[in-house]
Amino acid sequence: MTILDKIIAEKRQEVARREAETPAAALQALPPFTRPVRSARAALTAAGSSGIIAEFKRRSPSKGVINGTAEAGATTAGYVAAGAAVLSVLTDEPFFGGTPADLWAARAACPATPILRKDFIISEYQITEARALGADLILLIASCLTPAEVQQFSQFAHSLGLEVLLEVHDEAELRSHLAEAVDLVGVNNRNLATFATDVATSARLAALIPSRFVRVAESGLQHASTILELRQAGYQGFLIGETFMKTADPAAALAGLVAELTTPVSAS
Ligand SMILES: O=C(O)c1ccccc1NCC(=O)[C@H](O)[C@H](O)COP(=O)(O)O
């Protein structure tokens, strides 16, 4: 059993529990359910966008504790001030130490910035929950879903006004799961079964993603030079968690990266 199998098995129990506690109708009655959605597509493709999707990530199965003290509202507000185009907030508790309350806190602190609910979506209930928590887009992971589920969940997300980021890791997943209904396509450089991370994965798959989708490179990104290379390859979004969160000041780490991305290379 891989870690992903374990995450999904636990997620099925968690979702059943949450749905029994708070039915979808109750979520639909919460004020954020009808708030205007901010478009991640628009934020990533706007002129001058940093393209950075800055992630609030306390811990992970591959790295253990990354940051045991950061608070979601303050950290995401710092990210926005430092130039993040989009925010990502992990809401999985057992494996990542995130909570739905983290998403609430980020939403309250950053009303104008698109927020990705980063979780392992396996049911429409979680998409309704994402909307009620104040998210603007959801993640669908190809390796956890059938192509038919990607289609169904994308259409359901759109019916709630949410955008969809489809995550793939290789050519086969891209071929089998890419659906017209998704808005952004992310290439995860991390193999979720083995944790092996190689940024060359994004470079390899770039040309296979039709340009009508916003391309997002995910995981293992550390250096401005890598981001500049991936921009050349056609990427407009760069999902980064650990590189920022492992520092004492995640927002300052992001500000440093943004400064490097915008500093012209000297001709000497
Ligand atoms: O990060 C993990 O160890 C992990 C393990 C199993 C499933 C998902 C996992 N990560 C989720 C992500 O996609 C990353 O949080 C995201 O792409 C940011 O990655 P990084 O910049 O390397 O923190």
| pLDDT exceeds cutoff 60 at 267 | no
Per-residue pLDDT reduced to its tens digit, 67-88: 999 999 999 999 999 999 999 9
pLDDT, tens digit (0-9, with 9 covering 90-100), for 220-251: 999 999 999 999 999 999 999 999 999 999 99
Note the pLDDT of residue 70: 97
Q: Considering only CA atoms, which residue is closest to atom 8 of ligand 1? A: 192
Is the Cβ–Cβ distance between 184 and 216 less than 8 Å? yes
Ligand 1 center to 250 CA (angstroms): 16
Atom of ligand 1 nearest to the CA of 186: 17
Contact in structure between 132 and 158 (CB atoms under 8 Å): no
Task: Tell me the backbone φ, ψ of residue 93, rounded to 5 degrees.
Answer: -90, -50
ipTM > 0.95 (yes/no)? yes
pLDDT at 211 over 80: yes
Contact 118, 55 (CB under 8 A): yes
User: Based on the number of CB atoms within 10 Å of its own CB, is 162 exposed (0-12), middle (13-18) or buried (19 or more)?
Assistant: buried
Q: Write out the catalytic residue numbers.
A: 55, 57, 118, 167, 188, 218-219
Q: Cα–Cα distance between 248 and 39 in angstroms, integer?
A: 30
Residue boundaries of the structural domains of the chain: 3-262
d(CA 185, CA 179): 10
User: Containing H/E element for 46?
Assistant: none
> Burial, 35: exposed, middle or buried (Cβ in 10 Å; 0-12, 13-18, 19+)?
middle
Does any ligand 1 atom lie closer than 6 A to the CB of residue 219?
yes
State both tokens at 82.
């430092």
Nearest residue CA, atom 13 of ligand 1? 219
Residue with CA at minimum distance from ligand 1 atom 19: 219
Q: What pLDDT score does 193 carry?
A: 86
DSSP structure class, residue 190: B
DSSP letter (8 states) at residue 85: S
pTM of the model: 0.97
Share of the chain above pLDDT 70, in %: 98
Q: Which residue has the higher pLDDT, 268 or 117?
A: 117
Ligand 1 center from residue 60 Cα (angstroms): 7
Give the domain 3-262 fold.
TIM Barrel (3.20.20)
Strand residue runs (E) in 115-183: 115-118, 137-141, 163-168
Distance 222 CA to ligand 1 centre (A): 13
> What is d(CA 193, CA 7) in angstroms, rounded to the nearest whole number?
11
